[in-house]
């Protein structure tokens, strides 16, 4: 079986994307893991299918690089929105369904894609770190000297500790920069390594920013793969609404591969 695929990336968070609006693509976990393998396959942090869904512009089906179906991926949602437009859904405002519910997305003239995330109702604090779910579960740990941190080893310790081992959690290390921007590095479950960027992770980091004020906020985020921003309205330390993840979503290449 031959399958056409497309490669997209959002600040270095890269994805294999397949147009499945004809419902002809059926992949096993082993096939997805093979396609995402960076030595024996195409190579990616995850794989997405663009599906049709009545009442929506499309459905987002996301799989982690280990082949298992994943929770919401923010950068993935932005890339799939750009892919939908590139595939001929010629509009700039989208309404789609993903694993965590309905999302709006806007393709701006400057080339950035804005993705509306779910409202946040609770943030748990634990030994100076924060735990919240922005479509995927995240652990936010403020640190210093982030550039020198062994994110793989330190992230793995937290992801596989007794509290999180069964379900897994994404681990984000966050350092505030002198200009007020946040630098974020993320160990992602499912990938089981540091990625160049994590959309739901930087969203979580922005919401936990101690400098965020009651009302409207814009937080600039630096990742290994580039810069993102998160816009949101803060009502109190536990409640956030109108949360938007904003950044580039870029086509890389397309091809055909035998499955």
Spatial contact of 200 and 166, defined as CB atoms under 8 Å apart: no
Burial call 138-155: b when 16+ CB within 10 Å, e when fewer: bbbbbbeebeebebeebb
E-strand stretches of 72-111? 93-98, 101-107
Kind and range of the H or E run holding 248: strand 239-248
Triad 72, 138, 190: Cα angle to 5°: 60
73 is catalytic: yes
- Bridge partners of 255? 5
Choosing from 73, 79, 208, 246, the catalytic residue is 73
Q: Which two tokens stand for residue 249?
A: 């979503």
Q: Rounded to whole angstroms, what are the CA distances from 89 to 21, 69, 97, 248?
A: 12, 25, 15, 19
DSSP 8-state secondary structure symbol assigned to residue 38: T
> At residue 114, what are phi and psi to the nearest 5 degrees?
-105, 130
Kind and range of the H or E run holding 195: strand 193-195
Q: Which two tokens stand for residue 89?
A: 């859904």
198 is catalytic: yes
Q: Rounded to whole angstroms, what are the CA distances from 51 to 23, 58, 234?
A: 7, 6, 34
Choosing from 36, 79, 198, 246, the catalytic residue is 198
- The catalytic site residues sit at 73, 198
């Amino acid at each position: 079986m031959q399958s056409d695929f497309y490669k997209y990336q959002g600040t270095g968070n890269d994805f294999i994307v397949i147009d499945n609006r004809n419902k002809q693509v059926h992949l096993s976990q082993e096939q997805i893991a093979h396609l995402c393998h960076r030595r024996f396959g195409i190579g990616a942090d995850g794989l997405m299918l663009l599906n049709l869904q009545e009442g929506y512009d499309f459905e987002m089906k996301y799989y982690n690089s280990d082949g298992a179906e994943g929770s919401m991926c923010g950068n993935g949602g932005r890339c799939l929105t750009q892919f939908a437009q590139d595939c001929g859904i010629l509009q700039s405002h989208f309404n789609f369904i993903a694993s965590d519910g309905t999302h709006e997305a806007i393709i701006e003239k400057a080339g950035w894609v804005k993705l509306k995330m779910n409202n946040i109702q609770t943030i748990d604090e634990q030994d100076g770190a924060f735990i919240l779910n922005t479509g995927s579960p995240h652990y936010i740990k403020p640190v210093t000297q982030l550039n020198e941190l062994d994110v793989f080893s330190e992230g793995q310790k937290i992801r596989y500790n007794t509290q999180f081992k069964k379900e897994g959690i994404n681990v984000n290390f966050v350092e505030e920069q002198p200009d007020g921007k946040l630098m974020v590095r993320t160990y992602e479950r499912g990938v089981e390594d540091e990625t160049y960027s994590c959309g739901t992770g930087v969203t979580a980091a922005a919401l936990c920013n101690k400098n965020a004020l009651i009302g409207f906020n814009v937080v600039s985020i630096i990742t290994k793969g580039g810069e993102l921003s998160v816009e949101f309205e803060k009502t109190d330390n536990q409640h956030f609404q109108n949360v938007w993840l904003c950044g580039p979503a870029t086509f890389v290449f397309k091809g055909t591969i035998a499955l």
